[in-house]
Amino acid sequence: MKASDKVVLGLIQTSSEQHHQPNVDKTFAHIREAASRGAQIICTQELYTSDYFCQNHDEAHFDLAVEIPGELTTETAKLAESLGVVIISSIFEKRAPGVYHNTATVHDADGSLLGIYRKMHIPEDPGFHEKFYFTPGDTGFKAFDTRFGRIGVLICWDQWFPEAARLTAMQGAEILFYPTAIGVLPEEPETLKREFMDAWEIMHRSHAVANGCYVAAINRVGQEGDIRFWGDSFVSGPFGQILAQAGETPEILIAECDLSLIEKQRRTWPFLRDRRIDAYQGLLKRHGR
């Protein structure tokens, strides 16, 4: 049970390499540093244990996946318990032979595994061939009661879907975390990158406003293959204000959130109260025409 409405977030924005253990060691070191700076809920970037391997089709990349529970979740549990922090990890899950997911695990501050979330929306774009690797998630949209608050986790491509944010917030999530891998390809000019970044930021801030909650977006940085990941991880408050934002280099972003402001925002803008749930049947269709 949380003892205060104030909670400190730690977002681990870093570069990655191909091999598993160096990424794990580096991220665990960053988690320890974030905890030393007061972070209570700490989140990694998307697929933090390797480079972003979805840029091409290569069956050898399936060997990067890990089982849940397994050695990695055991080590993460020990780290969470030793530091007394919540750890959200985005990893490549091997569920069964031929069935793989892009999955987030949530460990509470006592080390217990509260549950997992499997990425629901899977993209297929130039440089982002995720449909080759990931089975669409089947966990539904979930929230987790942690020592420091009730949180929800969504992953990267999920960020563009207001339905995902809404349904997670409706589970009581006070903070939505989005571990992410987003960047630009070589042929995309700086002006286009700026447009993409603005859209990305606006989308997250709109989730915060529309749902009256905090939103944390965690991106990776650096050149990996053809993609330059732009970082700029940030935390938005429930009125859409940016509370803290990183740059385009590795950084541990720390932000304090006052969860009591959620009630204040929802009293001022009672969007959840005024939803016309009797008129939304069309959302269950692929298209309205």
Tell me which residues are annotated as active site. 46, 119, 156
Q: Which two tokens stand for residue 83?
A: 């530091």
Angle of CA points 31, 147, 26, to nearest 5° = 10
Sign (positive/negative) of CA torsion 191, 195, 200, 201?
positive
Distance CA 225, CA 17 (A): 11
CA 245 from chain center: how many Å? Answer: 15
**How far is it between the farthest Cα atoms of the chain?**
55
CB of 179 within 8 A of CB of 155? yes
Q: Using DSSP bridges, classify how beta strands 143-146 and 149-153 pair: parallel, antiparallel or unpaired.
A: antiparallel
Distance CA 90, CA 106 (A): 9
Listed in sequence order, the DSSP H helices in 148-286 are 162-169, 190-211, 260-268
